[in-house]
């Protein structure tokens, strides 16, 4: 019987996902200890962040960031191991595909503590992505694999997980739980539409942050040239990631529109809900566009969320300017039924906690 869970988190999106599971753990009387590795150092993760987002504050903050992959992961394993020896949890819960995810799983497994991986089975089939390596290794040493989609289940089956001593469970996606839970709060707290004067002009919501795009002048130039062209018809709302900002300066790339500062989760929800459609290289935003019934154009060469592509809600264009522009014309005229259950309809957190209690 599981009575105590230790959750390892390292990035702001992971806290938002985990908040929904934390609420369910509390409802079922399960004690939870949260460890924040500090992987994504974020000044916005202050007291007000945890209060406004209704997120439990971490008991431990390891403040490990700004290191190479190897140094970061090694330091995390060392520090998490110390905590596990003190806390003695029944299970360690990890999310997604960051270095924190892998470090938490490895530290637990070395101490013979079962690991539960939320967002298991996702694959881009691109081993050049550090996230892909983290996913594969974390899945292989987990006792509970909570898959958000049928495709994730299929990936694990193809990799032979039926022969491993683990439970593979289709839970649904905790990101949809978060989107549904925070939608009302976003309506109450966000003033982004008014502050940017977006009540009337048509606008596109865009994000660029993946290293494959920001560090490659040809790819980044093609994407920005497409956005510059689209800016003649739409207002472009581009919350600018620091890596992207540095790349614009370093690679001498000119924007014909004014980007905006990074925004919080509530503001992002409002920007998604009110835009015409989304252009992004973000994994999370691809799904959030679907949750709020918006089409998405993805500037990557592959996606983990293949069900969005298969059902016509998302299109993969790489960094091809002409493809971006042609798909933008098509997407602007598309009408689809978004009322399809691809991600569990907000029941993922409950499914996860109930499965842990079986």
Q: Are 135 and 122 a contacting pair, CB within 8 Å?
A: yes
Average pLDDT of the residues in 184-201: 93
* Residue 93, pLDDT score: 98
What is the average pLDDT value for the chain, to the nearest integer? Answer: 95
Confidence of residue 43 (pLDDT cuts 50, 70, 90): low
C-alpha to C-alpha distance for 331 and 335, rounded to whole angstroms: 8
Catalytic residue among 65, 117, 209, 241: 209
Condensed to tens digits (0 to 9), the pLDDT of residues 270-326 reads: 999 999 999 999 999 999 999 999 999 999 999 999 999 999 999 999 999 999 999
209 is annotated as an active-site residue: yes
Distance set, CA 286 to CA 136, 195, 282, 299, 303 (Å): 21, 25, 6, 11, 9
Confidence of residue 211 (pLDDT cuts 50, 70, 90): confident
Tokens representing 49? 């962040």
Looking at the chain, the whole-number percentage of residues with pLDDT higher than 70 is 99
CATH domain 4-173+344-357 topology: Rossmann fold (3.40.50)
Confidence of residue 337 (pLDDT cuts 50, 70, 90): very high
Tell me the backbone φ, ψ of residue 275, rounded to 5 degrees: -85, 170
pLDDT at residue 45 greater than cutoff 80: no
Condensed to tens digits (0 to 9), the pLDDT of residues 17-30 reads: 999 999 999 999 99
To 10 degrees, what angle do helices 265-274 and 283-291 make?
Answer: 60
Average pLDDT of the residues in 74-103: 98
Average pLDDT of the residues in 225-242: 95
Confidence of residue 236 (pLDDT cuts 50, 70, 90): very high
Condensed to tens digits (0 to 9), the pLDDT of residues 237-262 reads: 999 988 788 899 999 999 999 999 99
Looking at the structure, give the CATH architecture of the domain made up of residues 185-331: 3-Layer(aba) Sandwich (3.40)
Q: What are the extents of the domains in the chain?
A: 4-173+344-357, 185-331
Length of the chain: 358
Residue with tokens 């209060």, as numbered in its chain: 51
* Residue 41, pLDDT score: 73
* Residue 171, pLDDT score: 98
Condensed to tens digits (0 to 9), the pLDDT of residues 107-127 reads: 999 999 999 999 999 999 999
Residues 6+ apart with CB under 8 A from 309: 303, 315, 316
Looking at the chain, the whole-number percentage of residues with pLDDT higher than 90 is 89
Q: Are 312 and 330 a contacting pair, CB within 8 Å?
A: no
Q: Are 19 and 7 a contacting pair, CB within 8 Å?
A: no
C-alpha to C-alpha distance for 239 and 241, rounded to whole angstroms: 7
């Amino acid at each position: 019987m599981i009575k105590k869970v230790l959750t390892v988190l390292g990035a702001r999106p992971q806290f938002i996902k985990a908040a929904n599971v934390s609420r369910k753990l509390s409802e079922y009387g399960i004690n939870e200890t949260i460890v924040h590795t500090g992987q994504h150092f974020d000044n916005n993760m202050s007291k007000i962040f945890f209060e406004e987002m209704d997120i439990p504050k971490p008991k431990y903050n390891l403040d490990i960031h700004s290191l190479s992959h190897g140094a970061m992961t090694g330091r995390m394993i060392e520090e998490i191991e110390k905590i596990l020896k003190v806390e003695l949890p029944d299970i360690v819960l990890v999310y997604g595909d960051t270095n924190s995810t892998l470090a938490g799983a490895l530290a637990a497994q070395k101490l013979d503590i079962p690991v539960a991986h939320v967002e298991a089975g996702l694959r881009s089939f691109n081993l050049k992505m550090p996230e892909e390596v983290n996913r594969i290794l974390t899945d292989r040493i987990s006792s509970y694999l909570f898959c958000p989609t049928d495709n994730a289940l299929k990936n694990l089956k193809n990799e032979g997980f039926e022969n491993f001593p683990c439970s593979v469970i289709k839970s649904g996606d905790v990101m949809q739980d978060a989107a549904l839970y925070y939608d009302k709060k976003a309506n109450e707290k966000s003033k982004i539409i008014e502050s940017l004067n977006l009540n009337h002009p048509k606008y596109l919501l865009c994000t660029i942050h993946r290293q494959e795009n920001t560090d490659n002048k040809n790819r980044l130039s093609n994407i920005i040239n497409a956005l510059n062209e689209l800016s003649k018809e739409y207002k472009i709302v581009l919350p600018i990631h620091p890596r992207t900002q540095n790349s614009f300066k370093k690679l001498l790339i000119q924007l014909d529109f004014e980007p905006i500062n990074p925004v919080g989760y509530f503001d992002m929800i409002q920007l998604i809900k009110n835009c015409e459609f989304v252009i992004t290289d973000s994994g999370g935003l691809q799904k959030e566009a679907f949750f709020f019934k918006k089409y998405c154009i993805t500037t990557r060469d592959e996606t983990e969320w293949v069900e969005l592509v298969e059902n016509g809600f998302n299109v993969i264009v790489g960094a091809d300017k002409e493809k971006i522009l042609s798909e933008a014309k098509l997407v602007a005229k598309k009408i689809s039924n978004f009322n399809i259950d691809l991600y569990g309809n907000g029941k993922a957190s409950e499914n996860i906690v109930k499965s842990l209690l079986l």
